[in-house]
Amino acid sequence: MTIRVSLLIPIIVVIAVLVSLPSWADAYWVFLAFLWLLYMCMAQMWNLVGGFAGLASLSQQVFLGFGGYALAIFTLKDFGFGLPIWMAIVIGASLSGLFALALAIPIFRMRGFVFSVGTIILSEVVRTWFNNWAYTRMDYGIFIRSVWRIPLSWLFYAALALAITTVFSIYFILHSKYGYGIRAIADDEEAASTIGVNPFRVKLICWLFAAFITGIVGGLYYAHGGYIKPSAAFNLPIWSMMMISATALGGIRTIEGPMIGATFIVWFRQYLAEYLYVSLIIEGVIIMVVILFIPGGVVGVARKLTERLKIKGIVTRPFRSK
């Protein structure tokens, strides 16, 4: 397996810009980049589960919330643990993964619409549970005082490391034996299983990986936010809309798609920060317009354009002898 050289240059440039960012940009831009990295990871994970593996899940925010709550519970002295932050984040992600594993058998029995509604119910069950659980202070929320002194640049580098790991692992998963299996089951599960793909195992890998990474994202996100409550952490519109619209806008079932999509979402969520409702309406309209008229998203359009330019000989000029 090789990575094309033409791809390597932009990748190196982007990583170099991001690595040096805290040294030259002001804190607000570092914060935006931090958000972009986290949103991008979440959208990538939704794309893996909902796009590539064909499991249109609306419950990914559950794993995000688990990551955040684990951070609160395991780092605060009040709960009796007082562990270091990185350890709490790893525990949170592992708990997300375990929860996903426990759910895998019942939830994979559901298909298509039933799966999506099943995940909505799951999300509401978890939210209701945390809303009524006195141990996590119900809907009053928890002030995560243990993380208030962490500098943003540390969190930014952690998010950057996570994002790089995520993107490369998705690249490697998709170009491995399992990657072809993933695409095969999304197209036709029965046909795929007759040619030797185990749909359950392939879906399980995507589902668990997404739960684990989204759990880490939750930990990092709330390490910056410093306050968590169930109605925000397990909020279906805020998180699922973000993941789905970023993926749809950029281009579903592509690796570049969620990165491009997340840029737009971060941009107008910040731009409309005081009007969250308006930005959620825009995201809804984006999903509709993209699905109705441009199913490939930005990446799909770009690919079509380069195809056309290639035919005209503009992008890659073949060598001509006179």
Partner 1 sequence: MSELVSYTLMGLLLGGLYSIIGIGLSIAFGVLKFINLAHGDLLIVGSYLSLALLLGIGMDPLLSLIIVVPALFGIGYVLQRFLFNRVMWRGDFPPLMVAFATSMIIYQVLQIVWTANYRTLATDWSVKSLEIVPGVVVPLIYIVNFIAASILMAMLHLFLNRTYQGKAIRAASEDWEAAELMGINSKNIFSVALGVAMMAAALAGVLVGLTSSFYPAIGPQYLIIAFSVIIIGGLGSMKGTFTGGIIVGLAQILSAKFISPGYQLFVSYIIVLVVLAIRPTGIFGRR
Q: Please tell me whether residue 15 binds partner 1 under the rule CB under 8 A.
A: no
Q: Rounded to the nearest whole angstrom, what is the least distance from the CB of residue 229 to partner 1 in the complex?
A: 14
Question: 230: buried, middle or exposed (CB in 10 Å: 19+, 13-18, 0-12)?
Answer: buried
Distance CA 211, CA 99 (A): 8
Q: Which helix (H) or strand (E) holds 108?
A: helix 85-108
Q: How many CB atoms lie within 10 A of CB 24?
A: 9
Binding flag, residue 182, partner 1 (CB under 8 A)? no
Query: Considering the rule CB under 8 A, would residue 241 count as an interface residue with partner 1?
Result: yes
Min CB(53)–partner 1 separation in Å: 12
Q: Among 295, 267, 174, 279, which Cα is nearest to 237's? A: 279
How far does the chain reach from its first CA to its final CA, in angstroms? 37
Choice from 39, 184, 211, 283 touching partner 1 (CB under 8 A): 283
How many residues bind to partner 1 according to rule CB under 8 A? 43
Q: Please identify which residue in 9, 12, 15, 121 interacts with partner 1, judged by CB under 8 A.
A: 121
Dist. CA 103–CA 263, nearest whole Å: 32
Task: Give yes or no for residue 104 binding partner 1 (CB under 8 A).
Answer: no
User: Smallest Cα–Cα separation from 174: which of 110, 77, 254, 281?
Assistant: 254
Q: One symbol per residue from 52 to 71: x for binding partner 1 (CB under 8 A), - otherwise; what is it?
A: --x-x-x-------------
> Among residues 228 and 241, whose Cβ is nearest to partner 1?
241
Question: Do the Cβ atoms of 271 and 263 come closer than 8 Å?
Answer: no
Residues 293-322 binding partner 1 (CB under 8 A) are: 295
x/- letters, 199..238, toward partner 1 (CB under 8 A):
-------------------------------------xx-
The closest of 167, 160, 159 to 220, measured between CA atoms, is 159
Q: Is 112 in the site for partner 1 (CB under 8 A)?
A: yes
What are the structure tokens assigned to 239, written together?
Answer: 């998180």
**Smallest distance from the beta carbon of 287 to partner 1, in angstroms?**
4
Number of Cβ atoms within 10 Å of the Cβ of 133: 13
We find the least distance from the C-beta atom of residue 283 to partner 1, in angstroms, to be: 7
CB of 246: closest distance to partner 1 in angstroms? Answer: 13
Two tokens at 241?
A: 């809309």
**Distant-in-sequence, close-in-space partners of 216: CB < 8 Å, separation ≥ 6:** 41, 67, 89, 90, 92, 93, 162
Q: According to the binding rule CB under 8 A, does residue 106 interact with partner 1?
A: yes
SS3 57: coil
Structure tokens that stand for 70 in this block: 């684990």
From the CB of 49, what's the least distance to partner 1, in Å? 12
Write the DSSP assignment of 21-53 as a string of letters.
HHHHS-HHHHHHHHHHHHHHHHHHHHIIIIIIS
Site string for partner 1, 124-163 (x = CB under 8 A): xx--xx-xx-------------------------------
Position among 32, 120, 152, 302 found at the interface with partner 1 (CB under 8 A): 120
Rounded to the nearest 5 degrees, what angle is found at the Cα of 318, between the Cα atoms of 307 and 1? 70
Q: How far is the CB of 293 from partner 1 (least distance, A)?
A: 9
Q: Which residues bind partner 1 (CB under 8 A)?
A: 50, 54, 56, 58, 105-107, 109-114, 116-118, 120-122, 124-125, 128-129, 131-132, 236-237, 240-241, 244, 248, 277-278, 280-281, 283-285, 287-288, 291-292, 295
